[in-house]
Each structure stands twice: as C-alpha cells, then as structure tokens.
Copies of this chain bind each other. A is one copy, B any other.
C-alpha cells in the first residue's frame, strides 16, 4: 500500500520529536509501524531521506498556511495577528511536527538553505514590511527575535503545562500581546 509510506513518515516524526533524530533507530521506526527494517528501504532510500522529507513536508505546510493567512487578511494589524495565530495553530495541531522542525533546525541548520519554503522567511518579510511602512518603529531584526522566540516558547510552555487554557484563547492572547508590545510601544 502507498499508505505504508505515510505511516513511516508519521511514526518517524513522532519518534524524532520525542527522542531526537540520531536517538531514533530505523528499527524503532519499523517497529512502530509494524513492519521490519528492510521494508523501510522499499519506501525510502535512507534514514536521511526520511529526515529531510519530513522537514520539507511540514516546512512547506506551515509555509502555505502562513501564506494563506497573509492573503486572506485585511489591514496590517489583522495580517500580523493572523500570521501569528496561523503559526500557533499549526504548532498546536501538529506539535510533533513543530517540535521536529526546531530540532532539525538546531542540528542541521546548514542543510536548511537548500529548501525553498521556509516559514521563517515569510515572517521576516512581513516584519520588514511593517517596518518599511513606518508601523513598526523598532529595528526589524529585534522584532523578529521577539516574535519567533515568543512563538516557540508559548508552544513549549503550553506542552509543558506551564501555560494553560484553551488553544484559541492562547493564540489570541499571544497575537494581541505581541502586536501591542512591538508596535504600540516599541520606540527604537
């Protein structure tokens, strides 16, 4: 079945995000899927291919969602908030994927360049835009640091139980808080 291929990706993602990439063996993946090691190689050339394909898959997915959020929106505030919420929505819906993307980034940062759809770039452009239009006074690099850092941590603290509440509420609070903090207050 073509389904097996997806199952492999699915289970690999789970394991990678829980234990780390190197810490997860091909055997672990095979057992989780319910097949044997050899069978993995009918679907993928190597473990590394799984690793990369997973990153590109979810990277692309998140990219597309953010792009959509950018298109569908109205004014600048709406745009910003929608993007932030799209990020968190993705993280909450697919926590394994979000965690995995961070792990991958940390360990294989250099390999990321070959990939086209990098969510970070959209965020970076959006913030650059806001700055160019005079809406965001603060230096955009710092704003980028605040936004990406906060998003990652909100997700992390939510999955650790430090931040509680309904997902929708968390998304909205975070978007509001970032907009206020960066745009309404941030002089340079």
Residues of A within 8 A of B (CB): 19-20, 22-23, 102-103, 106-107, 138-139, 141-142, 144-146, 148-154, 156-157, 162-164, 173-174, 177-178, 180-182, 184-187
Does A180 lie within 8 Å of B174, measured CB to CB? no
Chain B residues near A174 (CB-CB < 8 A): 142
Alpha-carbon distance A173/B143, docked complex (angstroms): 11
Chain B residues near A19 (CB-CB < 8 A): 107
Closest to A182 in B: B181
Partner of A186, one of B139, B146, B180: B180
Does A146 lie within 8 Å of B106, measured CB to CB? no
Does B141 lie within 8 Å of A145, measured CB to CB? no
User: How many protomers of this protein does the assembly include?
Assistant: 4
Does A157 lie within 8 Å of B186, measured CB to CB? no
Closest to A180 in B: B185
Does B146 lie within 8 Å of A162, measured CB to CB? no
Does A107 lie within 8 Å of B148, measured CB to CB? no
Alpha-carbon distance A84/B152, docked complex (angstroms): 19
Alpha-carbon distance A173/B138, docked complex (angstroms): 10
Shortest C-beta distance, A6 to chain B (Å), equals 22
Residue of A22, A145, A148, A180 ringed by the most chain B CB atoms within 10 A: A145
Closest to A19 in B: B107
Does B180 lie within 8 Å of A162, measured CB to CB? no
A-B residue pairs, 8 tightest by C-beta = A149-B149, A181-B181, A149-B153, A185-B185, A145-B153, A22-B22, A149-B150, A141-B163
Alpha-carbon distance A150/B186, docked complex (angstroms): 14
Closest to A157 in B: B145
What would be 16 A-B contacts, judged by CB atoms less than 8 Å apart?
A23-B107, A106-B106, A138-B177, A142-B154, A142-B174, A144-B153, A145-B150, A145-B153, A146-B149, A146-B150, A149-B150, A149-B151, A149-B154, A152-B152, A181-B186, A184-B185
